[in-house]
């Protein structure tokens, strides 16, 4: 087998292995699964960390479509249409067993794959959409004014709502709708209806918390 083919075979096996066992899985076990010697892995990847980095590039970085950034910024189209197209395409690319489980394992074990990928989402999706929403609600608002935490949390909420479908399917193993397109469209439309209804109030809500149950001896 050619060196490039062997490297790809190791990488493909590593992706499946880490999706099943997380990054705590040992490379010796990975070698057994592939049917090669342990040292053969390190002839192609100098360390486990280098292998994980390659997994990150292959599974995460390569699946981000740079054209999505232009899509989000395309003010010739309604923001609702832009977000629907983005999430339909995004879900098609990332909703699979390996992507979701490696992402979750990375976050649980403090590997920086999760943080680095979420930085991409923040910079290339969350912040730009915040600016588009701000313009939609107030065309005269300063376009370069700092985006607030409240503005960001609204977009993270939509993103998390959609991603949670994948968590339910690939982590919890619970049923999800067979046809996801109508679900995605509905999530985005509900979000837009709420987001453009007016700026959120800054006054504190009148909330009366239910007291915790007190057990008496």
- The DSSP code for 61 is G
- The CATH class, in words, for 61-195 is mainly alpha
- Cα(217)–Cα(215) distance, rounded to whole angstroms? 7
Count helices and strands (H / E) in the chain.
Answer: 11, 0
- The CATH class, in words, for 3-54 is mainly alpha
What pLDDT, on the 0 to 100 scale, is given for residue 112? Answer: 82
Query: What global pTM score does this model have?
Result: 0.85
In this predicted model, what pLDDT tens digit does every residue of 109-147 receive, in sequence order?
767 888 899 999 999 999 999 999 999 998 887 767 899
Q: Which residues contact 211 (CB under 8 A, 6 or more apart)?
A: none
CATH topology of 3-54 equal to that of 61-195?
Answer: no
- Percentage of residues in the chain having pLDDT higher than 70: 90
Q: What are the boundaries of each domain within the chain?
A: 3-54, 61-195
- The DSSP code for 212 is P
Under a CB-based contact definition with an 8 Å cutoff, are residues 154 and 195 in contact? yes
């Amino acid at each position: 087998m050619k060196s490039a083919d062997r490297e790809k075979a190791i990488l493909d096996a590593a992706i499946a292995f880490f999706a099943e066992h997380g990054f705590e899985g040992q490379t010796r076990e990975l070698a057994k699964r592939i049917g090669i010697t342990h040292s053969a892995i390190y002839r192609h990847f100098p360390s486990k960390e280098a292998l994980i980095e390659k997994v990150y590039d292959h599974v995460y970085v390569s699946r981000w479509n740079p054209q999505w950034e232009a899509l989000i910024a395309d003010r010739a189209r309604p923001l609702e249409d832009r977000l629907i197209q983005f999430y339909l395409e995004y879900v098609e690319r990332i909703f699979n067993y390996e992507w979701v489980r490696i992402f979750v394992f990375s976050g649980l074990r403090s590997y920086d794959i999760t943080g680095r990928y979420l930085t991409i989402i923040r910079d290339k999706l969350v912040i730009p959409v915040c600016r588009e929403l701000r313009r939609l609600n107030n065309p005269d608002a300063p376009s370069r004014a700092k985006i607030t935490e409240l503005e960001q949390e609204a977009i993270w909420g939509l993103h998390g709502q959609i991603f949670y479908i994948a968590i339910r399917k690939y982590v919890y193993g619970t049923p999800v709708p067979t046809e996801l397109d109508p679900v995605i469209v509905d999530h985005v439309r509900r979000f837009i209806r709420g987001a453009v209804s007016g700026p959120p109030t800054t006054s504190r809500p009148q909330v009366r918390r239910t007291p915790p149950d007190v057990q008496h001896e």
